């Protein structure tokens, strides 16, 4: 497929998803309902996922078009969420660029050779064959019709952390040491990964994704000055790869309370807020030029129906102060989640979201934007 223009049958070219609540909320347009989807909505919380995935390796599954299609559709069928997210992983483009990476059960991405010097960077090749993924995206866009498919990639910092540390890390200490101690090497690596992630994102949109999310899950490990100097320019570079494509862009990270203002990039439309910050405070930090996504604590889903319902109501009332609000959890669905609660929550949000949003709008006028309950 050409890397430049949308094919005529593309859901965006055809306008199939342009009126979807998620797309409208992302652009800051009024919506008839509060759109909702869940990060990690496909995955271990679903018995039908566990059954399909038993056996094969995670990264092999990500390159199997029919498996990707089926797993992506499972939560949409079950929960009636307002968007699908492609079943994939942030390390998929690294695998497609020749990096020796696996996803170990119960651990996450693991590199055979951590990247810590120029020789290591040279092992990251060009983005190779992703045709199975593009086939899955095309198939999904056709099956989903008016429901948007969210394509995604990892942001350079989060990907760099896996590459440099060699696997999941709590402190990101080797990553920070390289970032501060060898800034030229850092820039070289970050540019390489930004282009890889950006090209992968572009392929997903050209194949039929109608929104994108860039996951900088571990950016919260940084101070704001470090984020602005060492990370943000490279995340902007990812977004530049899709600058000419009219899809809403969501930018998300965890523990990013101190970074939200800096993450509200002019190149993105929606900023994800995790559960450690109230949505009201998040909106104040992000400002009126972006929509917001979030931010119910994933653990609230385990606490019983009343708890998760009440916390969702607070998020919707507070979200009314933003130019647009997409309801989501503050981070991914926990594996031990009862999927029945998520299904019930989606129905409840669809029934009660508009009323709660109206309450939130009048409260925010009365309280100058601060709504705590
Ligand atoms: O075998 C399995 O089931 C492995 C579990 C699993 C799954 C289902 C992993 C390993 N990745 C995924 C899919 C996945 N990864 C999706 C699917 C779509 C959906 O949301 O429904 C997405 C969006 C991701 C993105 C991803 N992978 C992120 C960003 C999102 C986040 O949670 O912050 C990150 C950080 C990863 C790395 C990763 N992959 C897998 C795990 C367990 C991890 C995290 C490891 C760590 O703690 O560092």
Summarised one tens digit per residue, pLDDT across range 101-110 is 999 999 999 9
Give the model's pLDDT for residue 6.
Answer: 78
CA of 42 to the centre of ligand 1 (A): 10
Confidence check: pLDDT of 369 > 90: no
Which residue reads 């993450």 in tokens? 263
Task: Read off the tokens for 38.
Answer: 């869940």
pLDDT tens digit string along 296-343?
Answer: 999 999 999 999 999 999 999 999 999 999 999 999 999 999 999 999
- Which atom of ligand 1 is least distant from the CA of 158? 35
d(CA 373, CA 89): 36
* Tokens 């497929």 found at: 1
Both tokens assigned to 230 = 């060492």
- Among 53-57, 276-280, 295-299, the range scoring the smallest mean pLDDT is 53-57
Question: Beta strands 101-104 and 108-111: pairing type?
Answer: antiparallel
What's the rounded Cα separation, in Å, for the pair 79 and 69? 16
Statement: residue 125 has pLDDT above 90: yes
Identify the residue whose C-alpha is closest to ligand 1 atom 33: 217
Question: Which amino acids bring their CB within 6 angstroms of ligand 1?
Answer: 39-44, 53, 58, 85, 87, 89-90, 103, 105, 108-109, 152, 158, 168, 215, 217, 332
Question: Can you give the C-alpha Rg of the chain in angstroms?
Answer: 20
364 pLDDT tier (thresholds 50, 70, 90): low
Closest ligand 1 atom to 41 CA:
21
Report the alpha-carbon distance of residue 314 to residue 319 in Å, rounded: 8
pLDDT of residue 13: 73
Polymer length in residues for the chain: 373
pTM of structure:
0.95
Q: Which of 41, 42, 43, 220 to mutate to test the pocket of ligand 1 (most atoms within 8 A of CB)?
A: 43
Residue whose CA is at the smallest distance from ligand 1 atom 10: 108
The pLDDT value given to residue 373: 46
> Is residue 35 predicted with pLDDT exceeding 90?
yes
Catalytic residue positions, numbered: 40, 44, 53, 89, 162
Answer whether 71's CB lies under 8 Å from 53's CB: yes
Q: Give the helix/strand (H/E) hosting 327.
A: strand 325-329
Indicate the pLDDT class of residue 14, thresholds 50, 70 and 90: confident
Q: Is the pLDDT of residue 273 over 80?
A: yes
CA 23 to ligand 1 center in whole angstroms:
24
- What number does the ligand 1 atom closest to the CA of 105 have? 1
pLDDT digits (tens, 9 = 90+) for 215-243: 999 999 999 999 999 999 999 999 999 99
Tell me the best of 84, 90, 107, 161 to mutate to test the pocket of ligand 1, counting ligand atoms within 8 Å of each CB and taking the most. 90
| pLDDT > 90? residue 11 | no
Please tell me which residue, 372 or 82, carries the higher pLDDT value.
Answer: 82
Instruction: Report the nearest atom of ligand 1 relative to the CA of 38.
Output: 20
pLDDT at 2: 44
Atom of ligand 1 lying closest to residue 217 CA: 33
The residues near 37 (Cβ < 8 Å, ≥ 6 apart) are: 22, 81, 82, 83, 84, 85, 150, 326, 328
Confidence at residue 4, expressed as pLDDT on a 0 to 100 scale:
56
**DSSP letter assigned to residue 44:** T
How far apart are the CA of 367 and the centre of ligand 1, in A?
A: 39
- Whether residue 371 has pLDDT greater than 90: no
Q: Which residues of 286-309 are buried (b: 16+ CB within 10 A; e: fewer)?
A: beeebbbbbbbbbbbbeeeeeebb
d(CA 111, CA 162): 7
> What is the Cα–Cα distance from 46 to 348, expressed in whole angstroms?
20
- Asked if 103 contacts 29 with a C-beta cutoff of 8 angstroms, the reply is no
Mean pLDDT of 283-307: 97
Average pLDDT over residues 129-156: 97
CA of 241 to the centre of ligand 1 (A): 23
Residue minimizing CA distance to atom 28 of ligand 1: 90
Q: How far is the CA of 89 from the centre of ligand 1 (A)?
A: 6
Among 40, 137, 175, 273, name the best residue to mutate to test ligand 1's pocket (greatest count of ligand atoms within 8 A of Cβ). Answer: 40
């Amino acid at each position: 497929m050409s890397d430049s223009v949308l094919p005529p049958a593309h859901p965006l070219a055809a306008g199939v998803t342009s009126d979807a609540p998620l797309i409208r909320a992302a652009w800051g347009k009024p919506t008839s309902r509060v759109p909702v989807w869940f990060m990690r909505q496909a995955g271990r919380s679903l018995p039908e996922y566990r059954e399909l995935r038993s056996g094969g390796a995670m990264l092999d599954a990500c390159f199997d078009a029919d498996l990707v299609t089926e797993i992506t559709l499972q939560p949409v069928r079950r929960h009636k969420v307002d968007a699908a997210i492609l079943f994939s992983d942030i390390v998929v483009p690294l695998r497609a660029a020749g990096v020796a990476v696996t996803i170990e059960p119960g651990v996450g991405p693991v590199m055979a050779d951590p990247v810590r010097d120029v020789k290591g960077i040279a092992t990251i090749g060009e983005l190779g064959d992703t045709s199975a993924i593009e086939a899955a995206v095309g198939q999904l866009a056709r099956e989903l019709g008016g429901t948007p498919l969210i394509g995604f990639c990892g942001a350079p910092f989060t990907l760099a952390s896996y590459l440099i540390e060699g696997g999941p890390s709590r402190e990101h200490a080797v990553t920070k040491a390289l970032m501060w101690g060898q800034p030229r090497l850092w820039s070289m690596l970050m540019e390489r990964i930004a282009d890889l992630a950006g090209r992968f994102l572009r392929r997903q949109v050209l194949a039929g994704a109608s929104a994108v999310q860039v996951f900088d899950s571990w950016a919260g490990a940084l101070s704001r000055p470090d984020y602005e100097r060492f990370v943000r320019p490279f995340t902007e570079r990812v977004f530049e790869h899709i600058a000419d494509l009219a899809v809403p862009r969501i930018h998300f990270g965890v523990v990013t309370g101190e970074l939200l203002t800096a993450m509200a990039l002019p190149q993105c439309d929606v900023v994800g807020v995790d559960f450690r910050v109230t949505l009201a405070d998040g909106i104040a930090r992000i400002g009126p030029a972006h929509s917001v996504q979030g931010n119910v604590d994933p653990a609230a889903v385990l606490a019983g129906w009343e708890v998760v319902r009440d916390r969702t109501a607070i998020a919707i009332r507070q979200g009314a102060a933003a130019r647009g609000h997409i309801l989501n959890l503050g981070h991914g669905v926990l594996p031990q989640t009862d999927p029945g609660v998520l299904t019930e929550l989606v129905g409840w949000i669809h029934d009660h979201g508009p009323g709660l949003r109206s309450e939130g709008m009048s409260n925010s006028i009365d309280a100058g934007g601060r709504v705590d309950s």
